A and B are shown apart, each in its own frame.
Chain A
Amino acid sequence: MSVLRRVKPIVFVVCLIPAALLAWNFWGVTHDRPEALGADPIRAAEIFTGLWTLRFLAITLAVTPVRELLGLGALAKYRRMFGLFTFFYACVHLSMWVGVDWFFDWRAMGGEIVKHKYILIGMTTFVLMLPLALTSTNASVRRLGGARWARLHRLIYVSAITGTVHYLWGVKKDTLFPLIYLAVFVLLLGFRLLEHYVGPLRLRKTSRPSRRQPSRSHAGLTSTAPGSSGAIGDAK
């Protein structure tokens, strides 16, 4: 699986492409390409970063199922990176709303959060992601202990649902795409529930025996770490 480990820096750069594209188009809007983000660039940027947050969330949650189904142990190394990219795009999304859309009008934003459930649930999603990002280091896993750390990081399931509901409540009428995202998350969460009840699912035999224990969590924003009680699988 050394290929997966060697291409990780490349994957890292690929994950930055949406952000680079946005920056390039923003620069274009203020310089030579006023239509680079359409007639309402601020809204376009908010939708763009919001969607990439959800996409990275789905990618993060897909790591464990793919790794287990295909026996790609080395994928575990990617989970923290994807999780942190999820948080990165969430930060850009929120910054757009705070700094560009509302231009630091704290009173107005406070009113929006209190009065409008779709803003409230979006903000909730961000708050739920915060502790996961903050405890994404190996040191945090050691400090919390693997089991507690894993329990904390189950919050990602909640943010997947609240994030999608934020999207669903934000659209005026055409709920097709929010419902597609919801279906993807239900599928990814369903995989875990299924494993919880019927045991490990495999499409391909791993060369090494699995160290999985049925009771552990499979999710989280971070990857494996020494001292995480071996729960996250090995990537050696």
Chain B
Amino acid sequence: MRIKRPEDINSSEITDESLYINRRRFLAAAGVLGAAGAGLLACNSEARGSSSDSVDLVVGQEPEDKLNTFEQITSYNNYYEFGTDKEDPKDNSGAFHPQPWTVRVEGLCKKPGDYHFEDLIKPHKIVDRTYRLRCVEAWSMVIPWQGIPLSEMIKRFEPQPSAKYVAFTTVLRPAEMPGQRRPVLQWPYVEGLRMDEATNELTLMATGLYGKPLPNQDGAPIRLIVPWKYGFKGIKSIVKIAFVDRQPATTWNIAAPDEYGFFANVNPEVDHPRWSQATERRIGEFRRRRTLMFNGYGDKVASMYSGMDLRRNY
């Protein structure tokens, strides 16, 4: 089965939001599996939890999780490279060019090199992943991403056993990213994961949402999604992936080490020094929700942290 890359899709093929949702319902009802996705990115693995590559972990929450709208996901963003207000990324990212794009892979691996975006994506199957996103600022969304499990991508680069961490870097383009002209954070943005976190089945390199290529304000053309961690771990517009043997520096940890740790796992019991993490507001909802340990993904990730003091390793 050939999976189209985002840039292959004509605008006429792009699924509109209501159609997307309706199709999800229809396919879920019909029990159709991933095979239904003949060609169309948006529907290659629709049925909830029934396909091996579809991890649709938003069922069974109380109150039930609903998808946020495309409008919400693309107009309320933390992407300081385009400004620090929530609407800034949408307003200021028009001049950003996500294509052509090259990602440098380096460090402790057997296949380092500069990979064109197309070559990075081509060998893989694009999967659908609908995840909760919990921001460290105590708001959250539910977002239908498309992308490639990072574990599969990493396999291709053949990391050496000495590679214990993966470090990521965002593009540095002050000319196209007005936020980078002010030293609010140290540019370029850097993030990192432990190797077991990077290769966890939930960790995704997202290239699209709602069946469309990632909009600029959401981290085009490729970004990280680590759904059990606070949103700032999800580094955007990635240009470098490095395999390293020591815990890499991360931007928010550099900015405020007592407030933002390397792990940044969603944890309702460990408050941010300045505000509570026990509850969150789902964008589009009125009442606060209780925040779930590991953002509700504990069954897939908690074992990675067994024996660790999560209060100290925040």
Contacts and interface: CB of A to CB of B under 8 A. Distances in A.
Given A39-B76, A108-B279, A117-B274, A173 B87 contact: no
Interface string B6-22: 00000000000000000
A116 to B, nearest CB: 6
Interface of B: 71-72, 75-76, 80, 84, 86-87, 136-137, 139, 182, 184-185, 255-256, 271, 274-276, 278-279, 281, 283-284, 286-288
Contact of B271 (A116, A169, A174, A176): A116
A172 B137 contact: yes
Given A38-B76, A38-B87, A43 B139 contact: yes
Contacts of A40: 76, 86, 139, 281, 283
A208 to B, nearest CB: 48
Interface of A: 35, 38-40, 42-43, 100-103, 105, 108, 111-112, 115-119, 169-170, 172-174, 176
Nearest to B141: A39
Given A103-B287, A108-B279, A39 B184 contact: no
A114 B103 CA distance: 47
A116 B281 contact: no
A210 B211 CA distance: 72
A183 to B, nearest CB: 17
Contacts of A38: 75-76, 86-87
A100 B285 CA distance: 11
B288 A39 contact: no
A116 B275 contact: yes
Q: Which of A118, A119, A173, A176 has the most chain B CB atoms inside 10 A of its CB? A: A173
A91 to B, nearest CB: 21
B281 A173 contact: no
A25 to B, nearest CB: 14
A73 B86 CA distance: 43
A173 B255 contact: yes
A36 to B, nearest CB: 12
Nearest to B275: A116
16 contacts: A35-B71, A38-B76, A39-B284, A40-B139, A42-B286, A103-B288, A105-B288, A108-B276, A111-B278, A112-B276, A116-B275, A117-B274, A119-B275, A172-B137, A173-B84, A176-B182
